[in-house]
Structure 1
Amino acid sequence: MAFTDPLRSIDDFDAGDAEWLHLLVGDWQLVADLGFADLLLSFPTRVISAEDNPTGSAIPAPDSDFTVLAHARPTTGPTAFHKDMVGETIPASDAAPLRSSWVDQRIERFKLTASETQPVNSILVVPLVRNQRTIAVVSMTLDPHFGRPVSQMETMYRETAQDLLRMANEGTWPDFAVRSDSRRGAPRVGDGMMRLDAQGRVAFCSPNGLSTFRRLGHEGDVTGENLVSIARGLDVRGNGVDETIAPVLAGTMPWRGELEAGNVSVTLRAIPLRQGPSRTGALLLCRDVTELRRRDLQLVSKDATIREIHHRVKNNLQTVSALLRLQSRRMTSDEAKHGLQQAMRRVSSIARVHESLSHDISEGVDFDELIRHQVKLAVETASSTQSVRTEVHGRFGMLPSKCATSMALVINEVAANAVQHGLKDRDGTVSMVVDRLPDIVNDAGDVRRVIEVTVSDDGWGMGDTVIEESGASAFRQAGEGEGLGMQIVRTLVASELDGKIRWQPREGGGTSVVIQAQFAA
């Protein structure tokens, strides 16, 4: 359940309000860290609708409690609440400050008496106003200093936190138009914080922020300097200080960017600070992500190497398959020619799995598209004189790459066997049905995904005999009427797929082969 669900029951609120609250809660850890304070997002349990209120806006009922919808703790200081407050109720007797701030739509500071649920001396209550309507309230705990000296950094942090809350009260932060960056390494308060004035000069820089710019190659202090000018004096890689990073350094746009100078990479995030329509300055966060980027580059290089290996293996297997095809054409013996064609088909099956792996860096294989072509190829290769249709029903989804080759080989052998022995020189249909069975837990406590594959033909049938192979019984020499393909199937199902295989009569005539395989969930 989304924490904004209580809003949706009120006619006066819309989906845009809920989305804006999600943006706020997704970014308010920044405010908690700057304010060294806990943040609580609260909503009244009973609301007087806009239609029933003479002011024309929804307000909390006079005797309404408030429910805490979200809670953020600071990472820069101690928490005021030692239990999660989400879902807790603030009784109407204690919620008067919340209701007053909601109705007046003004930020207010209230003195509180210390209690088990509220051990602080005062709170800052911020009504969140959008389109001239209050949609929720945020309360920030204020830590009493108890006479201890307060540093400039702490003062600047707290002032910036309250500036952001003031913008939230005005509905100007967070901004729907902010561009998101999915790369790792988003800067945090503790990584480095700067406060810029309206002209883009540094009014305050935390020690970590100064250290970050020193690593970029800047010498001296940054306070009073223009960061765009500083960046232009660095050995910046790529396009230099272009139009994408300059607005971030100047604090004019709410964007994120990355600055690379020498061998150092730094991510930057700017949040313009506003008082009404005027921009008063900006908050700039910075973080040294040199090691993160180095690891990202290693991962990309590793993934590219793995894909290239799979591609080369696929090419080599296709070469082997082509050589087997050429050799089979020179055979005069039908038995030798048939044996080489079977080997060619098996090698091609393995090559297709490696081809799929060469296109994707994930550890899984999208098996459905691969196996549809494989079943059709196996049937066409095995049916030289008869007309055989193929049908595939159900989905495999993603299979672990280490099991995909074994599953492809097993289905390849069973489909070819259905044509060669099940239909045996007659036209017909080979169908494959895939079912997902309930997950199981093995003896080690691991959850295992279970897939059942049924390959059927409408051919001559095998009488009433039922054959099932699994575990140790599958590891034996081929019996009467069993060829190499049968041995391959039994061995792979038991050893690689941790499953079992059963040959049984098909209802309506023919044979069904049921394969159960287990994979890590």
Structure 2
Amino acid sequence: MNCATIRDLCIEYTNLTEEDIKILESMALQIPNTAEMTGTDIFIDAPLKDGVDAVVLAWAYPKNRSLYRHSVVGELALATSEPAVYRTLETGETCRDVRGVSQEGIPIAQTVVAIRNPADGVIGTLIMERDISEELRQEEQVEFLTQTAERLSNTLMHLSMTGSQFENWVGNGIFVLNKYSKITYVNKKAAKIYQDFKGFEALGQDFLFGMFNCSTLNELLDTLQNPAEFCILDKSYLFEAYPLVTYGDLSGCVISFRDITDLREKERELSAKSTVIREIHHRVKNNLQNVAALLRLQMRRSDLDIVKAEFSASINRIISIAMVHDVFACQNCDSVDLRELSQRILSALLESSMSPEQSIKAHVNGQNLHLPSIKAVPLALVINELLTNSFKHGVRLLDKGIITLDIIEKKGQIHLTVRDNGPDPEVPFDKVKQRRLGLQIVDSLVGEQLGGEFRMERIDGMTVVTVSFPKHSSEGQL
């Protein structure tokens, strides 16, 4: 610090004494360290001879960082432009954080302290100036957020009155747009995705230009009238828009979005697993059909009708299980359509069991009921045995036969009823069950795996076999 300059300026512009000048020179030697430690520009001013304005005697600033491009030492500080300096010189009071603008147009805060001589007279001022650009920006942001928070509250109130379920927005990203599609509010999640996507802050930006290829706010609302999925930076988001209407006019909109990347990834994994499972069912079906084909070859090598009959029954059972896997290979593996499965088994038995001379009318009646896959195999075997029983012991010797399978759901119970117009058995039905392996299989499967019951009776010249079991069980909930 050039003390000679300070002395010269004091002699030229002020009425300070020699002792006063020495005090100011000593003070000037200390301010560089203070400026470096505080990160502020520091000045020493002294009052002019007129007692109103002041002259800048010294200036210190942090290394490589100052509010000024050029030195202001020797320039006048007019009372009209430096009111805090004038006040301190007049009253000796300290002025703190007085806001103003530097000569470079930078917003600053001044703290002005009086410099006194031993007689307690004010001989100058020590001025500390700091850049408050960031503070002002934050204050403006707080003010802006206060206004937009109030606007958002009104928005949510509007949506609640119109029935929109904004409670589902918890955890969502939210943008609020004005009628010009400018972003007036964002929460943290929305701010982050916009920053990551565009590389700058979202507030004040045109949402249409930044995020979507829409030319107007109305077009955006049409696009997002229903939840729409968009991919941004390799992530999937579900966007939805809600219009804001003030006095009948569109005043903006609220856009809510949520990250569904994990959901889509799990769906892809599930789809891949489902494909693998369907392929497994397809291969199991093929293997069962191969087993059935081998049994047919073996059956043809026998000349005994009883052996052929047993082979045929076993083949039909294997084919019925194969049909279950065929259904699973083409459809959802979690459930099975009981009516479709029954129709497949009936068609296969008609092809294999009916002689060319016969005319058999066979039908499956009832609604499409979907049952848990865990019940599919026992049901297929039960249906196969019931229909096989009607073909083999009911209509086998009739020229015109009738077989029906009715599927009914009532009070949580599934009822499968097979009717045929075959002759009345020669023995009681209890003994019929004991003599026929197929009916023993039905009795076992219905009781042990389906948790139901099985009965046979003769009604109006028809043999009626009914299987009843609960739709829901501990082994397989729908």
TM-score relative to the length of structure 2: 0.58
- In structure 2, relative to structure 1, the CA distance for the partners of 1:434 and 1:250 (3 Å cut) is closer
Deviation at 1:251, TM superposition (A): 5.8
Residue of structure 2 aligned with 1:302, choices 270, 273, 282: 273
Matches within 5 A, 1:88-99: none
Alignment of 1:72-221 (within 5 A): 151-152=146-147, 154-161=149-156, 188=169, 190-214=171-195, 216-221=196-201
Deviation at 1:385, TM superposition (A): 6.1
2:202 alignment counterpart: 222
Structure 1, unaligned runs of 5 or more: 1-149, 175-184, 232-240, 440-448, 470-477
User: Is 1:426–2:407 an aligned residue pair?
Assistant: no
Deviation at 1:378, TM superposition (A): 1.9
Where 1:196 maps in the other structure, the secondary structure is strand
* Cα contact 1:153–1:206 (8 A) shared by 2: no
SS of alignment partner, residue 425 of structure 2: coil
Contact 1:251 1:284 in 2 (8 A): no
Q: Alpha-carbon deviation of 1:155?
A: 0.8
Q: Is the 8 A contact 2:404 2:420 kept in 1?
A: no
TM-superposition CA deviations, 1:362-419 (whole Å, max 9, x none)? 6322221331342243244223365133244434622222213222211211221222
Equivalents in 2 of 1:455, 1:163: separation in Å? 61
**Change in CA separation of 1:324 and 1:217 when aligned onto 2, cut-off 3 Å:** farther
- More RCO (CA 8 Å, sep 6+): 1
- 1:497 maps to a residue whose letter is L
State how far apart, in whole Å, the 2-side matches of 1:165 and 1:393 are: 49
Structure 2 equivalent of residue 313 of structure 1: 284
Q: Does 1:410 align with 2:382?
A: yes
CA distance in 1: counterparts of 2:451 and 2:157, whole angstroms: 60
1:335-346 paired onto structure 2 within 5 Å: 335-346=306-317
- For the residue of structure 1 that corresponds to 2:460, the secondary structure is coil
AA matched with 1:457: D
Cα distance 1:351–1:230, how it changes in 2: closer, same or farther (>3 A)?
same
Query: CA distance change for structure 1 residues 321 and 197 in 2, over 3 Å: closer, same or farther?
Result: same
**SS across alignment from 2:471:** strand
Give per-residue Cα distances to partners, 1:223-264, cap 9 Å, x unaligned.
Answer: 122335444xxxxxxxxx656x99799667553433323342
Aligned length: 326
Look up the SS of the partner of 1:284 in the other structure: strand
The 1-side partners of 2:213 and 2:313 are apart by: 61
Question: In the alignment, what sits opposite 1:451?
Answer: 414
Give the residue type in structure 2 aligned to 1:158: S
**CA pair 319-186 structure 1, distance change in 2 beyond 3 A:** farther
Contact 1:504 1:512 (C-alpha < 8 Å) held by counterparts? yes
**Distance in 2 between the 1:277 and 1:503 partners?**
72
Structure number having the greater helix percentage? 2
C-alpha RMSD of matched pairs (Å): 3.7
Give the equivalent residue in structure 1 for 2:233.
262
Contact 1:356–1:365 (8 Å) recurs in 2: yes
| Kept after mapping to 2: 8 A contact 1:456/1:506 | no
Contact kept? 1:195, 1:282, Cα under 8 Å = yes
* AA at the equivalent of 1:401: S
How far is the alpha carbon of 1:289 from its aligned partner? 2.4
Q: For 2:445, which of 492, 495, 498 is the aligned residue?
A: 492
Kept in 1, the 8 Å contact 2:338–2:368? The answer is yes
Shift of 1:438: 4.6
Instruction: State the alpha-carbon separation in 2 of the partners of residues 295 and 164 from structure 1.
Output: 32
Question: For the residues of structure 2 that align with 1:293 and 1:383, how far apart are their CA atoms?
Answer: 51
The code of the aligned residue for 2:417 comes to T
Equivalent residue runs for 1:444-483 within 5 Å: 449-463=412-426, 465-467=428-430, 479=434, 481-483=435-437
Residue 426 of structure 1 and its aligned partner are, at CA, apart by 3.0
Percent identity between matched residues is 28
Provide structure 2 residue ranges, at least 5 long, that are not aligned to the other structure.
1-144, 473-477
Aligned residue for 1:501?
A: 454
User: Rg: which structure is higher?
Assistant: 2
Inter-partner Cα distance in structure 1 for 2:447 and 2:260 = 47
